Amino acid sequence: MKSGNFYLLASIIFGNLVSGQKCGNNVCTASSPCCREGFCDISAAYCMPMVCDRAGSFTPGSCWGYNGCTPKTVDFSNPNSLVPISQIQSNSGANSYDFVSIFDPSNARLSNGNLVLDLKYQNIGATVQSTIANQYGRYTANIKSASVATGVVSGFVIRDNNSGDELDFEFVGKSPNQVQTNYYYQGVLDYTKMVPYNLNFATSAGFNDYAFDWTPDTIVWYVNGQPIRTLNRVDTWDQASGVYKFPNSISFLGFTIWDGGSSVDQGTRDWAGSPTPWTPSTVYSMYVNSVTFQCYNNGTITPTQTPVPTNNIVTVTNTITKCLPN
């Protein structure tokens, strides 16, 4: 599809057929068309594609469109590297920026050529996401984590909020010399897929490269150019559901920091470490020096692949093509 046609092909096909879907306890209307976390509005905070729930919106096409990945490196020296979501007035305006801070008020900022995400006392932390859509490619971030104390969790994530597909690097204050890798398929929070990897350095002591190499057949996690984990699509076959549980959705790259040690959930506190040390003046900060996008699709999206088993043979067939602008 050409630049300017920002809707997914699926939205074009079905957008006029289904409207007024349930958004939490609300129903979105033409005047408040975009659904986010159970509420409807017309602002960027609801309509930007990394936060907008297509299924719950007035139509799937109510959510703003997005551009496909193009190769680039963001070093955060440019003021247009980051914008708070409250400052975006239109879809075209968002395209001037590399990353958007999706919470208001924002706890993300630019400082000395770095993207900085802050976690403050009695605060929600921060989440920053790219304004371009990603699928297959190699995505590298030069990061200094915030894992200086128990409970502090910082992450490098590729996620689609609509499908629930997600790839993770997580840095947990309870284990300062460790990085944890994980993935989720279609929103199923299967924590057994988490794999910890012990490092010979503290992730908060300096900047290191963390990378996802994502293809239709494999996902490889890298630290400083060295592979630490490989997930093969063929190994994710689920006999009961008849699908490969392998993330393949159009997604957005992002960074996050949050307080796991003060969670109401005991399992999260045990995982992150608890309690998180706090004084009213305490601030925990995650730093990102640069992000490099190496895009295997060159701004386009490949067909979603659905495996169809025939006896012991698996045949791959194409379903609806999800299309992004070139």
**Nearest residue to 185 (alpha-carbon basis) of 207, 203, 209, 159:** 159
What are φ and ψ of residue 203, in 5° steps?
-65, -15
Q: Which residues, in sequence order, are CB contacts of 27 under 8 Å at separation 6+?
A: 20, 21, 40
d(CA 261, CA 36) in angstroms, rounded, equals: 26
Q: Which of 168, 170, 213, 259 is catalytic?
A: 170
Chain centroid, CA 27 distance in Å: 26
For residues 211 and 222, the answer to whether their CB atoms sit within 8 Å is: yes
Please state, in angstroms and as integers, the Cα–Cα distance from residue 87 to each residue in 45, 143, 242, 313, following that order. 9, 26, 44, 52
Assess whether 37 carries a catalytic annotation: no
Residue 36 DSSP SS3: strand
Give the end-to-end CA distance of the chain in Å, rounded to a whole number: 6
d(CA 273, CA 176) in angstroms, rounded, equals: 11
Q: Which residues, in sequence order, are CB contacts of 180 under 8 Å at separation 6+?
A: 168, 169, 170, 171, 172, 194, 195, 196, 197
d(CA 116, CA 130) in angstroms, rounded, equals: 15
Specify the residue for token string 């490098």. 156
Q: Which of 166, 168, 213, 259 is catalytic?
A: 166
Residues assigned a catalytic role: 166, 170
